[in-house]
Structure 1
Amino acid sequence: MINQPLIDCFQEVIATKENFAFWRYPKESSISFVSNMKQNDCFSDEKAAFYFQRFAPDSNSVYLFDTSLVRKFELESVAFSVADIAFTSEDRSVFETQVEQGIQRIAEGRLTKIVLSRKVSTEIDLNLIDSYIHMCLTYPAAFCYLFYTAEIGFWMGASPELFCEVSDGTATSMSLAGTRFATDYQPFLDKEFREQEFVTQFISSKLADLVYRVRVSDRTEIQAGNLIHLQTIISGRLLEHATLNQLIAALHPTPAVCGLPQQKAFQAISEIEKYDRSFYTGVVGVVNGVQQNKINARLYVNLRCMNYRDQQTTLYAGCGIVADSNPPAEFEETEQKFKTIKRILVANNS
């Protein structure tokens, strides 16, 4: 059977009830797997780690593992029958009112930008490993992961956005913002360019304290699934004293998932959204430990993700709000982002 070793691995680890992680880096064909990781509060020079951080910047989860225990699976192409699943959520007027509240705070001068989100949920007997395989095949340019612990249940996502990569002493981050639909493409407007520039300036200013010189690429457009975004790459060679913890603390949460000013936007989100984002818009990825006295890591913003627990599936999506945002248009943007995950879900009876 196609992908049978991968499926067998999933079934075996589910039976043990151990924590585990599957991950596939962008544009790579192999899926990595590790289980029975040791949860820790900080990174270790001797151990690699799967990193999973909440949106709240004062919390993180480091799961240490021995790289010799990582198993690799080659992904094989296969067709799936996608489930037609109905999700429930609050009425669209609730979210549009929240967007109006964000715009009002910007008009009052309290904020420059705020990112607001919503969630939808349903109860379904989901085939998680088939859904994950389908996700990896559908989004080859995304970081695709499937992570489980008894405390938080299953999380799965296909992130198009690099949070930071540290390799050979160089740190690289990505400014990703603005959204257009690939099926009905319209040129980006000043609103989207401003929104993305806020993110670029924020990341550049934060990196300036940790690198010798900040390098900023030209702005480009990239496609992630059915969506097109504006992207800029920011990088620099790390100062000798700079650490990965400092880098994460400086960048998270970026204006791409929170807003500006950062602390005021974070507080406003907690007041307006009225739900716990949990790990949505947090950070997810792998730290490969220290090699030749230099740490190596590839971390991503936890976007286009879902949580599955007790047959309850919850999806998350958000959008950046600036002064001239349009509430109905922002709602439609979240609907398009939900489709990123909806289109890969496979039910056990499908």
Structure 2
Amino acid sequence: MDTSTHIVMGVGLAGLATLDPNVSSSPYMATAVLATTLVASNAPDFDTILKLRNNAVYIRHHRGLTHSLPALLLWPFIVSGGLMLFFQDAYWPTLLLWAAISVFLHVFVDIFNAYGTQALRPVTNRWIALGVINIFDPVIFGAHIAGILLWIFGVPPGPTFAVIYFLLIFYYLWRYSQKQQVVRQARNIHPTASHIFVLPTIRWHKWHLVIRTPDMLYVAQSKNRVIHFFESYTFDPIPNDPVMQAARSDKNLAAFLSFSPTYRWEMEATDEGGYEVRFVDLRYRSNGYYPFVAIVKMDAQMNIVTSYTGWVYSEETLRKKLKIIT
């Protein structure tokens, strides 16, 4: 989920924590738990600092180690132990409990996005992305805001957020059933499809799709339970030739391939006598343009001259970024 949602979820969990007698009986403990749930609800995303290095490092590692099984165990101790420095009279087991709940919920809800997490690392480094909930969901965010407002106006927060989280369970189940319906519709149209990638949008009735058959890739959209097709591309596996192998040694392209499950690629000679290799992620389509890309430029000897991976929304912007990196 996005940062704003994780923040309101931190507040919501602090409200839910008031059902704990150790919290409800002490304003001091209530404040300590609020600080704990706010920090713990955002702790797994502290790896956002990797953006300061470069996009390749960020894309390859964001929601990786910090969302892994060891992290689920370590973050609660780190957060609760750190906050004990500021709340020295707090009951530490309670802070540890709500830190653990907050961290677990953060990683759990991230699994339902299209981006996903490596939540089972080190058992497996596979990205787990259920593609059910958009990275920002107005229902989830709005439910928390409503609960916070009721809390401000004097409604007991414990029962309020208990009801909110109970109802959100059914919301998640409903969204999952909606996605499965889209998958079934797509498979009815293309029964030979080997993979059907479905991405949620901020609108309930709209989903992005990429359908992969043995020979083709179809980019489509499901809107109001009707599938509309946009583009189709021949499905060509990545060739094992010297140019492509040289390009795949680049850190930016390697990061892209570690993250993107469905893409198309282009390889062409440049006017300067070198080569340009480009990959575009077909899951993300915006106004007919695919903004998540990786591009590698090489000279005639297949030495990498410049490369980039990330989000760009025009060819002009991409060319500018390549010149800056060079």
Query: Normalised by the size of structure 2, how large is the TM-score?
Result: 0.23
More helix by share: 2
Structure scoring higher RCO (CA < 8 A, sep ≥ 6) equals: 1
More strand by share: 1
